[in-house]
């Protein structure tokens, strides 16, 4: 008969276990590994009212050239020291001052930017300059050269999302600096369509159209997924990105999904409940919903929420699951 994990640890078994562990072996029946969905990471919310002054202090204390990227990492409170917001994702808030540039480099992690606050910044990705305004979503595919600049007259803040923990998991973290501080620009996308930039004006219009045509989903309201216009698939092999509209007074059902997600509030205010614990949010706040964490949304006003997660990877691996509680 196979031994289950609650098999009695008899003195004979305990002796045996000790002998086994003298070699690089372990008895599987004693496993303490969790065999259930979920992860060690916990819910957390970062108020812009708290992070913005710290970003400004960072800007006063360290130059963009010295920092390379002036980023405050959204570090999961249960994963301190890991630079992880979930076990598979990195998130950070980056600030760039007028006239600054962030030098060009490339790396194996994929990166996304979601513009939070301020006008006049751009990202250059593989020779194309992509202007960035609040609510815009910009894709930096892995191993693409990228640098940033701010041609405006005020600070610009955006949310960075990277799949760095994937590259570390696989032992495939490579990076290099471009020989020039800013890569040569072949063209400026301006407002022209590119598969790498999703302007907020178009996303918001698409959301409004969706809201006119269909009833909101009981748990997540009206949700659009960003797709690669060439393949129709996710914008990255690992990360999926979404924009969601919760109508005023929305009182959503509880839901959980295996993809831990990072949210950035674009417009409106409301509350996200983790199990039954309320976390109020305002525009520009960020929060993390851990994998398989029960959560529900309540909207005080019309809310627009950006989010990204590792759902692309989970779907292609056949892991992704969702449940309405
Ligand atoms: O802007 O290229 O938050 O390379 C982390 C790594 C931002 C970036 C981050 C990066 C960048």
Ligand 1 mutation pick, 55, 92, 158, max ligand atoms within 8 A of CB:
92
Number of domains the chain contains: 2
**For every one of its 325 residues, what pLDDT tens digit does the chain have, with 9 covering 90 and above?**
344 555 677 999 999 999 999 999 999 988 876 689 999 999 999 999 999 999 999 999 998 878 889 999 999 999 999 999 999 999 999 999 999 999 999 999 999 999 999 999 999 999 999 999 999 999 999 999 999 999 999 999 999 999 999 999 999 999 999 999 999 999 888 888 899 999 999 999 999 999 999 999 999 999 999 999 999 999 999 999 999 999 999 999 999 999 999 999 999 999 999 999 999 999 999 999 999 999 999 999 999 999 999 999 999 999 999 999 8
Please indicate, yes or no, if residue 8 is contained in any of the structural domains. no
Measured CA to CA, the distance from residue 161 to residue 238 in angstroms comes to 11
Cβ contacts of residue 163 below 8 Å, gap of 6+?
88, 89, 90, 109, 110, 236, 238, 239, 310, 313
By alpha-carbon position, which residue is closest to atom 8 of ligand 1? 69
Please indicate, yes or no, if residue 31 is contained in any of the structural domains. no
pLDDT at 34: 62
Distance 69 CA to ligand 1 centre (A): 6
Q: Do 158 and 268 lie in a common domain?
A: no
Q: Do 108 and 153 lie in a common domain?
A: yes
Count of other CB atoms within 10 angstroms of residue 189? 17
Q: Give which of 21, 29, 27 is closest to 1, Cα–Cα.
A: 29
| pLDDT 10s digits, 249-306 | 999 999 999 999 999 999 999 999 999 999 999 999 999 999 999 999 999 999 999 9
Q: Do 253 and 273 lie in a common domain?
A: yes
Distance 261 CA to ligand 1 centre (A): 19
Structural tokens at position 95: 């600030």
By alpha-carbon position, which residue is closest to atom 6 of ligand 1? 69
Residues with CB under 6 A from ligand 1: 69, 71, 92, 94, 107, 111, 146, 160, 162
pLDDT at 68: 87
Instruction: Select from 141, 165, 197 the last residue of a domain.
Output: 197
Q: Is residue 228 within 8 Å of residue 234, measured between CB atoms? A: yes
Q: Do 61 and 189 lie in a common domain?
A: yes
Please indicate, yes or no, if residue 5 is contained in any of the structural domains. no
Q: Do 170 and 242 lie in a common domain?
A: no
Measured CA to CA, the distance from residue 139 to residue 113 in angstroms comes to 7
pLDDT at 2: 43
Cα torsion for 146, 89, 195, 225, to the nearest 10°? -160
Q: Do 73 and 193 lie in a common domain?
A: yes
pLDDT at 1: 39
Helices (H), the chain: 11-21, 48-61, 64-67, 164-169, 200-213, 311-317
Q: Do 48 and 193 lie in a common domain?
A: yes
Ligand 1 mutation pick, 85, 111, 181, max ligand atoms within 8 A of CB:
111
Please indicate, yes or no, if residue 307 is contained in any of the structural domains. yes
Question: What is the atom index within ligand 1 of the atom nearest the CA of 175?
Answer: 4
By alpha-carbon position, which residue is closest to atom 9 of ligand 1? 160
Ligand 1 mutation pick, 65, 71, 106, max ligand atoms within 8 A of CB:
71
Q: Do 96 and 150 lie in a common domain?
A: yes
Question: What is the atom index within ligand 1 of the atom nearest the CA of 102?
Answer: 1
Ligand 1 mutation pick, 68, 72, 94, max ligand atoms within 8 A of CB:
94
Question: What is the atom index within ligand 1 of the atom nearest the CA of 94?
Answer: 3
Measured CA to CA, the distance from residue 96 to residue 101 in angstroms comes to 8
Please indicate, yes or no, if residue 143 is contained in any of the structural domains. yes
Please indicate, yes or no, if residue 255 is contained in any of the structural domains. yes
Question: What is the atom index within ligand 1 of the atom nearest the CA of 160?
Answer: 3
Q: Do 316 and 230 lie in a common domain?
A: yes
Q: Is residue 189 within 8 Å of residue 138, measured between CB atoms? A: no
Instruction: Select from 197, 222, 249 the last residue of a domain.
Output: 197
Look up the domain containing 149 and give its range. Answer: 44-197
Q: How far is CA 202 from CA 157, 207, 243, 245, in A?
A: 21, 9, 11, 14
| pLDDT 10s digits, 130-159 | 999 999 999 999 999 999 999 999 999 999
Measured CA to CA, the distance from residue 89 to residue 79 in angstroms comes to 12
The pTM of the full predicted model, rounded to 2 decimals, is 0.95
Please indicate, yes or no, if residue 19 is contained in any of the structural domains. no
Q: Do 176 and 223 lie in a common domain?
A: no
Q: Do 181 and 224 lie in a common domain?
A: no
Instruction: Select from 142, 163, 197 the last residue of a domain.
Output: 197
Q: Is residue 108 within 8 Å of residue 167, measured between CB atoms? A: yes
Distance 1 CA to ligand 1 centre (A): 53
Given the DSSP bridges, would you call strands 90-96 and 71-73 parallel, antiparallel or unpaired?
antiparallel
Place of tokens 């008899």: 10
Distance 18 CA to ligand 1 centre (A): 46
Cβ contacts of residue 18 below 8 Å, gap of 6+?
none
Kindly report the CATH number assigned to the domain that includes residue 206: 2.60.120.10
Q: Do 181 and 205 lie in a common domain?
A: no
Please indicate, yes or no, if residue 54 is contained in any of the structural domains. yes
Distance 312 CA to ligand 1 centre (A): 21
């Amino acid at each position: 008969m196979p031994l289950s994990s609650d098999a009695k640890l008899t003195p004979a078994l305990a002796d045996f276990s000790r002998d086994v562990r003298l070699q690089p072996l372990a008895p599987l029946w004693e496993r303490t590994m969790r065999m259930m969905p979920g992860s060690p990471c916990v819910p957390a919310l970062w108020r812009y009212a708290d992070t913005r002054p710290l970003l400004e202090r960072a800007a006063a204390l360290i130059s963009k050239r010295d920092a390379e990227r002036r980023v405050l990492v959204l570090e999961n409170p249960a994963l301190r020291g890991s630079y992880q917001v979930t076990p598979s994702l990195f998130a950070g808030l980056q600030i760039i001052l007028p006239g600054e540039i962030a030098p060009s480099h490339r790396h194996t992690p994929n990166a996304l930017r979601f513009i939070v606050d301020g006008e006049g910044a751009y990202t250059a990705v593989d020779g194309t300059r992509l202007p960035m305004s609040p609510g815009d979503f910009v894709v930096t595919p892995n191993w693409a050269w990228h640098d940033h600049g701010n041609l405006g007259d005020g600070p610009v803040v955006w949310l960075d999302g990277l799949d760095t923990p994937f590259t570390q998991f696989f032992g495939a973290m490579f990076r290099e600096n471009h020989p020039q501080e800013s890569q040569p620009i072949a063209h400026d996308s301006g407002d022209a369509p590119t598969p790498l930039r999703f302007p907020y004006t178009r996303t918001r219009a698409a959301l409004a159209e969706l809201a006119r045509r269909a009833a909101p989903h009981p748990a997540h309201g009206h949700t659009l997924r960003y797709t690669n216009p060439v393949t129709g698939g996710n914008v990255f092999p690992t990360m999926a990105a979404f924009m969601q509209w919760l109508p005023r007074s929305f009182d959503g059902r509880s839901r959980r999904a295996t993809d831990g997600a990072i949210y950035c509030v674009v417009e409106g205010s409301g509350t996200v409940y983790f199990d039954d614990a309320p976390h109020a949010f305002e525009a520009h706040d960020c929060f993390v919903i851990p994998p398989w964490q029960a959560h529900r949304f309540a909207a005080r006003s019309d809310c627009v929420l950006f989010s990204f997660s590792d759902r692309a990877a989970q779907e292609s691996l056949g892991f992704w699951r969702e449940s309405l509680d």
